[in-house]
C-alpha cells in the first residue's frame, strides 16, 4: 500500500528516537495508514496499526476510530476488543490517571466508546454481555 510505503520512508528519514518522547505525530501517521487498511478491508493490518499507537492519551481515540470503521463494514467481533480497550483506557483517565498529560482529552471519549461497544453487543445479540 502506498501510504504504508510513504510511512516507512518518513520513519527512515525522521526516526522517532531523534525527536524525544512525544509520539503523537507518529501516531497520526500510523493511524492514517491503519484507516486506509480498514477502508480497503484488510482487517489484520488495520488492527495491527490500531494497536501500534504509542501516546497514552491518544490510544483510545486510535482504537475507537478503527473500530468505528470496522463497524461500518459489519466487523463487530473485530471492533469489540478495540472498543473495550478504549472504554477501559478512557475510564482510567477519568479516575486513576486523571492527573496525567492529556487525561481530560482521553477521558472525553468514554461515553462514545461505551455507546459504540454496547451497539456492537446489541448487533451480535449479546444482550446480557458487558
Q: Give the per-residue pLDDT at 127.
A: 85
Interval 21-44 mean pLDDT: 94
CATH 3.90.660 fits 2-123, yes or no: no
Interval 118-123 mean pLDDT: 93
Better-scored residue on pLDDT, 130 or 34? 34
> Does the pLDDT value for residue 130 go beyond 70?
no
- Report d(CA 40, CA 115) in Å as an integer: 25
Residue ranges of the domains in the chain? 2-123
- Report d(CA 45, CA 83) in Å as an integer: 17
Q: Is the pTM of this model over 0.85?
A: yes
* Contacts of range 1-9, beta carbons closer than 8 Å, 24 or more positions apart: 1/33, 1/36, 1/37, 1/40, 3/32, 3/33, 3/36, 4/33, 4/36, 4/37, 7/32, 7/33
For the chain, the residue count is 130
Amino acid at each position: 500500500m502506498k501510504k504504508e510505503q510513504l510511512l516507512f520512508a518518513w520513519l527512515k528519514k525522521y526516526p522517532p528516537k531523534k525527536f524525544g518522547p512525544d509520539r503523537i505525530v507518529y501516531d497520526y501517521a500510523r493511524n492514517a495508514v491503519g484507516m486506509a487498511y480498514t477502508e480497503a478491508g484488510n482487517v489484520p493490518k488495520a488492527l495491527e496499526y490500531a494497536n501500534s499507537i504509542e501516546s497514552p492519551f491518544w490510544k483510545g481515540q486510535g482504537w475507537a476510530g478503527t473500530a468505528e470503521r470496522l463497524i461500518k463494514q459489519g466487523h463487530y467481533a473485530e471492533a469489540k476488543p478495540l472498543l473495550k480497550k478504549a472504554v477501559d483506557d478512557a475510564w482510567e483517565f477519568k479516575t486513576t490517571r486523571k492527573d496525567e498529560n492529556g487525561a481530560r482529552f482521553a477521558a472525553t471519549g468514554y461515553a462514545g466508546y461505551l455507546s459504540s461497544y454496547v451497539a456492537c453487543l446489541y448487533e451480535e445479540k449479546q444482550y446480557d454481555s458487558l
